[in-house]
Amino acid sequence: MLDLKDGAIVCGLQAEGGRLTWDELVELDAPAVLFVSSDHFCCVDPREKLQGGGGSRLRIYDLPGATLWLTRSELESIWRGEALVIRSPRSRTRTDGPVAQFETTFADFGVAKADAVVTNEFSLKNTGHEALRILELRPFCGCAGLNSAGKEIPPGETGKIVMKFSLQGRQGAQLIQGSVRTNDPARPLTLLTYRGVVERPVLVTPHLFDFGEMIPGQEGTREVIVTDRGDQTLQWVRGSLVTLEAYLGDASSDGSVPPAGKPTFELRYVPCGVSVQDAYRTASSSARPSPELNVQGYPLRYRMVLKCTVGEDTPYGKYFGTLQLKAQRQGGQESQIFIPVALIVAKDLYATPRLVCFGVMRPGENRSRTIRVQRRSGKSVELVSCRTAGEMPETNTMAGRIVPQFEILMEGGVSAVVEVTLKAPRKTATTTGALSGHIELSVTQESPLRVEWLAVIGPEKQELGEKEG
């Protein structure tokens, strides 16, 4: 909170931190930043109060989410009193010339319907002694408009700056800004902010098709639920994978994958209430679910089932794509939805951990770690051999070639477990250093797995005590 206070001061504001009660908070004449949930900040303007519902409520601003009206008990359940009160700079002592004073430069339209037009009036008062002229109104986006009834505000009078924001084609959290330029010599430019949340006419849950790790020759399906929260007339036209980028593990590769080696995808549109198993028997790639399945006024929902097939020749690596769904409403309006697709093509055989770290060891100390070898396909693992190799760094003077010793604890089942033991060498000098190398694990009819290992040899215990002394 101290950083927030310093930032407010840099911006020319007054900031004062402290601990407040609810009664003290609601009586503030300025906004405040609250420290809530022991790890989060939100904003509140106590000048905005909502009566009713068993007592007053305060409006909580927590970007990028929608604003919330909280009661005393709701706020005190997450807030322990820490607050930073923010006030405008001290009043200017001069009395000549115009002075532009906005009641607020921030407004929130809450949650609005898609394709609506929201409007807000910002009050601008001239607290000076000469006429305040509005020289320029400039919105920062073509979807917004700024205008005023007049271009001049007499001393002591209040004018209105009207901001309109078109939500056509928008969904989710939105923020628009605009600037007002006046002839106030001390503060000629003021920034206005208007924000809120637009309801999503089409909701996708979860937000992506995540296939996780797959091996060559494997098939998998994932599904999302698409809910029509609009006019309930959404009809799917088609779906296609418009992009698929590969990030291969082979450093020598340029990332390109031949068409024959790419994973393939097949989409099925399944009405909710039909099982995924039945989907492949009842639906074709061009089938359209019937809206008549919508009953009792519930939002129309579809289950989108995506099937991924990884070929035997598909290169190992990470794949990211985008599935484009095209739909049409009853009135002819077209809609497009883009859903991310992600998968990792990995080897069937793998070892965990990939790096065995023995940590910092004292000379002569023994330390053991375990390595587990498994198959993603769930098939049995038959460990043939285990070979260790080590490297001595040039920065230390320890004699001999140091390698870990191993013992096979379990094999022949769904996994094999190897215990690796390293004995830290005795030094021939007072220098210390790092030891590293790798372990090769050989499995029947598979390429050897390589697991790196690392250890740091520290000083003798008595040497450490001498240095501290």
* DSSP labels, 30-99: S-EEEEETTTEEEEEEEEEEE--SSS-EEEEE-TTSPPEEE-HHHHHTTEEEEEEEEEPPPPP---SS--
What's the pLDDT at 155?
92
Q: What single-letter amino acid sits at 221?
A: T
What is the CATH code for 100-198? 2.60.40.10
* Ranges of CATH 2.60.40.10 domains, the chain: 100-198, 349-464
CATH code 3.90.70.10 region(s) in the chain: 2-87
pLDDT tens for the chain, residues 1 to 469: 788 888 787 677 888 888 899 888 988 888 999 998 877 899 998 887 665 444 578 888 887 776 788 888 889 999 999 999 998 775 555 557 899 999 888 888 888 877 789 999 999 999 999 999 999 999 988 888 999 988 999 999 999 999 999 887 677 788 888 999 999 988 888 889 898 888 777 778 888 899 999 999 999 999 888 887 766 777 776 777 777 788 775 544 555 666 677 888 888 877 664 333 333 333 333 334 333 333 334 457 788 888 999 988 888 888 988 888 888 777 777 777 888 999 999 988 888 898 999 988 888 888 999 999 888 888 888 877 787 765 444 434 444 467 788 888 887 778 889 898 988 877 644 445 788 888 888 888 788 888 998 888 887 665 544 444 4
Peptide bond into 363 cis (omega under 30): no
Give the model's pLDDT for residue 369. Answer: 92
Q: What is the dihedral of CA 60, 65, 68, 73, to 10 degrees?
A: -70
Task: Report the Cα–Cα distance between both ends of the chain, in Å, rounded.
Answer: 39
Outline where 141-234 has alpha helix (H). Answer: none
CATH architecture of 2-87: Alpha-Beta Complex (3.90)
Which option is the CATH number for 202-345: 2.60.40, 1.20.5, 1.10.10, 3.30.43?
2.60.40
pLDDT number for residue 401: 60
- pTM of the entire predicted model: 0.52
CATH number at 349-464: 2.60.40.10
C-alpha to C-alpha distances, 456 to 104, 434, 436, 439, nearest whole angstrom: 60, 4, 9, 17
pLDDT at residue 469, as a whole number: 45
